[in-house]
Structures are given as C-alpha cells and as structure tokens.
Amino acid sequence: MRSEKINWKLLLSITALVILVLRLDQVLALLKTFWGAISSLVFGAMLAFVINLIMRPIEDFLSKSHSKFILKSKRALALLLSLVIVILLLAALVWLVVPSLIEAGEVMVKVLPGYFSETETFFKKLFADNPQIVAYIETMHIDWEQVVKNFVHFTTTGVSNMLGSAVGMVGTVVTSIVNLIIVIIFAIYVLLDKQRFVRLYHRACNLWLKPETEQKITRALYIIYDSFSSFICGQCLEALILGSTCALGMFILKLPYPLMIGTLVGVINIIPM
C-alpha cells in the first residue's frame, strides 16, 4: 500500500491552535513581551509614514533643482524641512491654544460666582409661590465665590500632589522619554534610507515567494499606501477647513476666543483618526 502524504501545513496549524488554547496565558504574555520589544519600531514606522507625506513632495520639488549640492543631499534637506514644518505646526498649536485657555480659565473663575448667584435668584423667583422652598434656598447661604476658589485650590493641590507623586514614577517617565527618542530616531533612519527597505522587501520576496505572489502583495501594499495617504491628507484638510470656518464664523459674530476654539475644533476633528 502506498502511504498517504502528510499535510504538514494542516498539522502545524492544528498544533499551533492546540498550544494556543492550552497555554493561552503564556502565549499572551509572550506576545506582550514581543510587542514591548518592537512597539517603538512600529510607532517609528508609523511616524515615518506620516512625515513622508510632507517629505515626498518636497523631495520631488528639490529634484528639479540644477544645483549639484541640492541634488546630492535632497533627501536630507527634504527631511530637515519636513521636521521643521512639523515642529512649527506643533508650536503654532500650542501658541494659539494654551494662552487662550489660561485666559479663559481666569475669566471663568471671575464670572462663575455671578452666574451662580443669578441662578439662585432665578430659582427664588421661580418658586415664589412656595415660600417653604424659597426659605430653604435662603437658608443654604452658598458663597459661590468661595466655592469656585475652593475648587481651584483643590485642582491646583491635586496637580501638586500628582507632581509630587511623580518622583516615584521616574522610571516610567525615563522609559517613555527613551521610547520617544527611539521612535523619532527610527523614523528619521527609515526616511533617510527608505530605498534600502524597499530593496530588502524585494530581496525577501525573491527568496521566499513566487513572482505571482510577490506581484499580488506589492499591488496590495501600493493600494494600502495610497488609501492611507489619501485618508490622512483628507482628514487634515477637513480639519483645516472646519477649524478655519469655525474661527471665521466666530470672528464675524464677534464671539470670544475664535482662534483657540477654531484650532481646538480642527485638532479634535483629527483625534478619532
């Protein structure tokens, strides 16, 4: 009798599934450890993808130059200009939002006691036909200004306590800073030498995959790249239009803090993405 051929792929799949079911906790712990090891590189690649959306048109523009120096160092110059643009955008957001938020908070601290007092007077008038409720409201004697001051004091004290307890979290803070530095460095490395990663991809495909399979995967990757690029650019453009329209409308209606509100509306619109 001729022996049947063993389906090694099916056997390995069943074995992996059995191990996954019987050792689920250990597998999850192993995956968590693995993710902790590569997460900085993954986030670095994501950051490189986003920055490349700014860098690519700059590099194409520099390619049209007749200067040998620019042509030789066009990628480094494009990356430098892209990073400068990103830093300027972040600085502009902070400059537009933070001072206005501080000013708005100071104004709220000043006007909220008056609003609370007006609310108390409104309820007294509303229940004028019921003297028992009015008498109860009058006996409350709420000092709204002191309530607001206590709330502000509690908030600042809470922040101080959090900052004080942060001394015990130095390790976590240092780890986060180191991971952020790794993310930025890896993103810069990928952007400066992105052609090498493309060549490594094609070399790996030539070693392990059939030409037809490589073509299908390459086509799928191009579609994914174009889709995500268009999506991110479209979301940023939508946020810019929405924030500008909101700020312009508030300018026309003479409402306070139009730049801050418009900027926040635009930024918040990107958060779900």
At 163-218, the pLDDT tens digits run: 555 555 666 777 778 888 999 999 999 998 888 888 888 898 888 888 898 899 99
The answer to whether the CB of 77 falls within 8 A of the CB of 192 is no
pLDDT at residue 251 in the model: 92
> How many residues in total does the chain contain?
273
Report if pTM > 0.85: no
Q: What is the pLDDT of residue 85?
A: 93
User: Which one, of 270, 273, 269, 266, lies nearest residue 240 by Cα?
Assistant: 266
Looking at the chain, the number of H-run helices and the number of E-run strands are 10, 0
Structure confidence at residue 9 as a pLDDT band (50, 70, 90):
confident
Residue 199 lies in a domain: yes
Nearest residue to 60 via CA among 47, 46, 78: 78
Is 244 contained in some domain? yes
CA separation for the pair 63, 67 (Å, rounded): 9
Q: Are 107 and 260 in contact (CB under 8 A)?
A: no
Rounded Cα distance, 196 and 174, in Å: 32
Q: What is the pLDDT of residue 3?
A: 47
CA angle 54, 215, 193 (to 5 degrees): 35
Express as a percent the part of the chain with pLDDT over 90.
22
Q: How far is CA 166 from the centre of its chain?
A: 23
Residue 171 covered by a domain: no
Domain total for the chain?
1
Measure the CA–CA gap between 273 and 271, rounded to whole angstroms. 5
**Mean pLDDT, the chain, whole residue set:** 80
For residue 119, being part of any structural domain is answered with no
Residue 135 pLDDT: 63
10 inside domain: no
Rounded distance between C-alpha atoms, residue 35 and residue 16, angstroms: 19
Alpha carbon dihedral 20, 21, 22, 26, in 10-degree steps, equals 50
- Helix 170-192 and helix 194-208: axis angle, to 10°? 80
Q: pLDDT for 54-73, tens place per residue?
A: 999 998 898 888 888 888 88
Q: Alpha carbon 232 to chain centroid distance? A: 12
Q: Is the pLDDT of residue 88 over 80?
A: yes
Four-CA torsion 13, 214, 193, 59, nearest 10 degrees: -130
Q: Residue 2's pLDDT band (boundaries 50, 70, 90)?
A: very low
Q: Give domain status of residue 204, yes or no.
A: yes
Give residue 1's pLDDT: 44
Range of the domain at 260: 195-273
What is the CA angle 186-189-195, rounded to 5? 125
Alpha-carbon distance of 273 to 74, in angstroms, equals 31
Hey, what amino acid is at 179? N
In a domain, 252, yes or no: yes
Within-domain flag for 96: no
